[in-house]
Amino acid sequence: MRELLSMVFIGIGLGFDLLGCLGLVRFPDVYNRLQAATKCVTFGTCSILFGTFLILGFTSAGIKCLLALVFIVLTSPTASHALARASHKAGVRLWERSVCDEYSNSSK
């Protein structure tokens, strides 16, 4: 039963990781790509780690899976925030069909 549940988690995780990578290729500009890269890949990787934890239980490796999960949730959004801010400061334009850009209005 536990094995089955963990396989389900790992499967979901792999699916979301795949979709995240597809989004990285398909989306038009830096900011949209960051959205796909952050959300899907964070959730997918967390799901894989949780599935691995379910298989291993409270062993040495299982606990490390849980710790890695916490650190990914903390660091991944921070990294994407830094990337988005840096590329905006460096003058990377938004996609031409974007609706509005309040950030460049305010910083001028």
Instruction: Give contact residues for other proteins (rule: CB under 8 A).
Output: 16, 19-20, 22-23, 26-29, 31-32, 34-36, 38-40, 42-43, 58-60, 63-64, 66-67, 73-74, 76-78, 80-81, 84-85, 88, 94-95, 97-104, 106
Query: What's the CA gap between 64 and 68, in Å, rounded?
Result: 6
Minimum distance from CB of 2 to other proteins (Å)?
Answer: 20
Closest to other proteins by CB, 7 vs 57, is 57
Closest to other proteins by CB, 2 vs 97, is 97
Minimum distance from CB of 54 to other proteins (Å)?
Answer: 16
Query: What's the CA gap between 30 and 57, in Å, rounded?
Result: 39
3-state SS class at 102: helix
Whether 38 contacts 76, CB under 8 Å: yes
Minimum distance from CB of 35 to other proteins (Å)?
Answer: 5
Query: What's the CA gap between 91 and 104, in Å, rounded?
Result: 10
Minimum distance from CB of 57 to other proteins (Å)?
Answer: 12
Closest to other proteins by CB, 7 vs 75, is 75
HSE at residue 70, side-chain half, CA atoms within 13 A, is 4
> What letter does residue 108 receive in the DSSP assignment?
-
